[in-house]
Amino acid sequence: GESVGLHLPTLSVQEGDNSIINCAYSNSASDYFIWYKQESGKGPQFIIDIRSNMDKRQGQRVTVLLNKTVKHLSLQIAATQPGDSAVYFCAERPPQPYSGYSTLTFGKGTMLLVSP
C-alpha cells in the first residue's frame, strides 16, 4: 500500500506486482516531463520521458501517463523487481520564454520498496 512517511511517500509492493507511482506537477504550461530513479548513494538516473502533446508513452517495463487536465503524471512499472527499489522523482520543464534553455523542476519523490 501507499503511505506518507516522515520525509517521503512510500509504496511497498511484492515482487512481480505492478507498481504505480503518482506525481502532481505544478505548472500547467510545462511542455516536457521526465521520471528519474535514484538509488541510495547515487545520482538520479533517467527512466522515461514524455512531451506534453502526448498522453502515454511506453518503454521497457515502464509506462508514463500524462493527464494535463488535472496536472497529473504517473509511472507504471510492470512485474516489479527488487532492483526497482529506489526513490522515484518526476520532473517538469516549465516554459523558458526568455532564456530558451531547458530547466527542470523536480517533485518531492516517492520511495518504492519491493519485497521478494
Partner 1 sequence: EAGVAQSPRYKIIEKRQSVAFWCNPISGHATLYWYQQILGQGPKLLIQFQNNGVVDDSQLPKDRFSAERLKGVDSTLKIQPAKLEDSAVYLCASSLVGTRITDTQYFGPGTRLTVL
Q: Residue 3, interface with partner 1 (CB under 8 A)?
A: no
Strands 19-24 and 72-77, by their bridges, are antiparallel
CB 88 within 8 A of CB 37: yes
| DSSP code per residue over 56-85 | EEE-SSEEEEEETTTTEEEEEESS--GGG-
Q: Contact with partner 1 (CB under 8 A): which of 1, 41, 83, 116?
A: 41
Strands 9-14 and 110-115, by their bridges, are parallel
Q: Residue 37, interface with partner 1 (CB under 8 A)?
A: no
The region of 12-20, 41-49, 69-77, 78-86 touching partner 1 under the rule CB under 8 A is 41-49
Q: Residue 28, interface with partner 1 (CB under 8 A)?
A: no
In whole angstroms, how close is the CB of 58 to partner 1 at the nearest point?
A: 16
Report d(CA 103, CA 116) in Å as an integer. Answer: 38
Q: How far is CA 43 from CA 24, 38, 88, 104, in A?
A: 22, 6, 11, 15
Q: Residue 24, interface with partner 1 (CB under 8 A)?
A: no
**What mask, x for binding partner 1 by CB under 8 A, covers residues 56 to 95?**
---------------------------------x-x-x--
Name the site residues for partner 1 (rule: CB under 8 A).
6-8, 31-32, 34, 36, 41-46, 49, 51, 89, 91, 93, 99-109
